[in-house]
Amino acid sequence: MASRVLRIGLIPGDGIGKEVIPAGRRLLEALPSSLGLKFDFVDLHAGFETFEKTGAALPDKTVEVLKNECDGALFGAVSSPSTAVKGYSSPIVALRKKLDLYANVRPVKTVVTAPKPIDMVIVRENTEDLYVKDERTFDAADGSGKVAEAIKRISEKASFRIATMAGDIALRREKIRAAGAPSIHKSPLVTITHKSNVLSQTDGLFRSTSRRALAAEQFAGKLEVEEQIVDSMVYKLFRQPEAYDVIVAPNLYGDILSDGAAALVGSLGLVPSANVGEGFAIGEPCHGSAPDIMGMGIANPIATLRSTALMLEFLGAEEAAAKIYAAVDGNLSEGKLLSPDLGGTAKTEEVVQDILKRL
């Protein structure tokens, strides 16, 4: 069988990004050849260090190579300076815009680290809602002081494509479970999150469009769909996290829910994400550059390894992703080689080697 060759851009960025992204590369190289995948890597730059060296946090070359040559990418982390630095802004935010990566996908899963089992994925719309940043400030007509307001924009187009992606992910998760990645869920469920009891037009449109997208033929009879108002969702997310499989949310609620959910699993070092557009995905661990542990060789590589698997899912390599998830879960459930953030003493390198061995 001819191998499929995937070209992957590697953007380590700053801090522990440089320690964990190489682990993602080694993971891809270690995948069994029976999967029919080959990888080709291209080293790319972005981040604060790149900004200090070149004056650009996201060099044009990085964008062009990703756009024109790559199938996917891995992005480490970038440092955010504590005070605003003139000319510097987040390269990942710029990349999402330039490559139209309209979805932010964040799986949150525990194996042994929390009081309750958790295995959910939050699918966050990433292009609109309050984050269109259309704000203004003016004087109140009655002279009582200033008033500030912001536009919350919800479109049918963006709502439809994000809900469709959530449905696709729910069905794919079922396939990945079938391919041997352990899970607490038996059948696919999508929860639509909104506040349409108050915001009947904006969230109302998100809700009705998501419903319509998830009622499409490709999902008929294969998917359970429910809705939840965002405030009661937060309550239930903390009380009963095991109830959720796939959650789809507009940008702001998705932002808040995904950080809240990440807090449930005990370490940022476990939580992956992907920024996804049409035919392109960037895997990105949720954590930042972690300057406090940088250079100590103890960063937990699991968020990056899971992000690598997640990127593969979106590139149609589900079987490879399932193998990686199972290897990571094996490491966590055995619990012998855990990094310090999980209460262990293992170095990054030992965790990586254990997981590669399990592949």
The residue ranges that bind ligand ATP (CB under 6 A) are: 15-16, 77, 79-80, 268-269, 287-293, 299-300, 303, 341
Q: Of the listed pieces 21-29, 61-69, 285-293, 318-326, which binds Mg ion according to CB under 5 A?
A: 285-293
Q: Is 36 or 288 the residue whose CB approaches ligand ATP more closely?
A: 288
CB of 258 to Mg ion, least distance (A): 14
Instruction: Name residue 322's amino acid.
Output: A
Fill in the DSSP letter of residue 108: E
Three-state DSSP class for residue 49: helix
Q: Is 291 or 335 the residue whose CB approaches Mg ion more closely?
A: 291
The site for Mg ion, by CB under 5 A, has a size of 1
90 in contact with Mg ion (CB under 5 A): no
35, 68 Cβ separation under 8 angstroms:
no
Q: Is 39 or 75 the residue whose CB approaches Mg ion more closely?
A: 75
Q: For residue 102, what are the contacts with CB-CB under 8 A and spacing of at least 6?
A: 125, 126, 127, 158, 161, 162, 276, 277
Q: Is 14 or 319 the residue whose CB approaches ligand ATP more closely?
A: 14
List the structure tokens of 225.
């769909």
179, 313 Cβ separation under 8 angstroms:
no
List the structure tokens of 102.
């309209």
Q: Is 168 or 259 the residue whose CB approaches ligand ATP more closely?
A: 259
259 in contact with Mg ion (CB under 5 A): no
Which sign does the torsion angle of CA 215, 254, 287, 114 carry? Answer: negative
CB of 289 to Mg ion, least distance (A): 8
| Residue nearest to ligand ATP as judged by C-beta position | 288
Three-state DSSP class for residue 317: coil
**Binding-site partner at residue 79 among ligand ATP, Mg ion, none, CB < 5 to 8 Å by type:** ligand ATP
CB of 20 to ligand ATP, least distance (A): 6
344 in contact with Mg ion (CB under 5 A): no
Q: How many CA atoms lie within 13 A of 311 on its CB side?
A: 29
Q: Among 153, 90, 86, which Cα is nearest to 125's?
A: 153
**Binding-site partner at residue 300 among Mg ion, ligand ATP, none, CB < 5 to 8 Å by type:** ligand ATP
Q: Is 181 or 302 the residue whose CB approaches Mg ion more closely?
A: 302
Q: Is 180 or 295 the residue whose CB approaches ligand ATP more closely?
A: 295
Q: Is 203 or 341 the residue whose CB approaches ligand ATP more closely?
A: 341
Residue with tokens 């590669």: 356
The whole-angstrom separation of Cα 210 and Cα 170 is 14
CB of 139 to ligand ATP, least distance (A): 36
The whole-angstrom separation of Cα 125 and Cα 296 is 36
CB of 252 to ligand ATP, least distance (A): 20
288 in contact with Mg ion (CB under 5 A): yes
CB of 292 to ligand ATP, least distance (A): 5
Q: For residue 314, what are the contacts with CB-CB under 8 A and spacing of at least 6?
A: 72, 274, 276, 280, 281
Q: What's the Rg (C-alpha) of the chain?
A: 20
| Residue nearest to Mg ion as judged by C-beta position | 288
**Binding-site partner at residue 289 among Mg ion, ligand ATP, none, CB < 5 to 8 Å by type:** ligand ATP
**Beta strand 119-125 with 246-249: parallel, antiparallel or unpaired?**
parallel
Region class of 206: left (phi > 0), else alpha (psi between -120 and 50), else beta:
alpha
CB of 268 to Mg ion, least distance (A): 8
CB of 293 to ligand ATP, least distance (A): 4
Which residues sit at the interface with Mg ion, rule CB under 5 A? 288
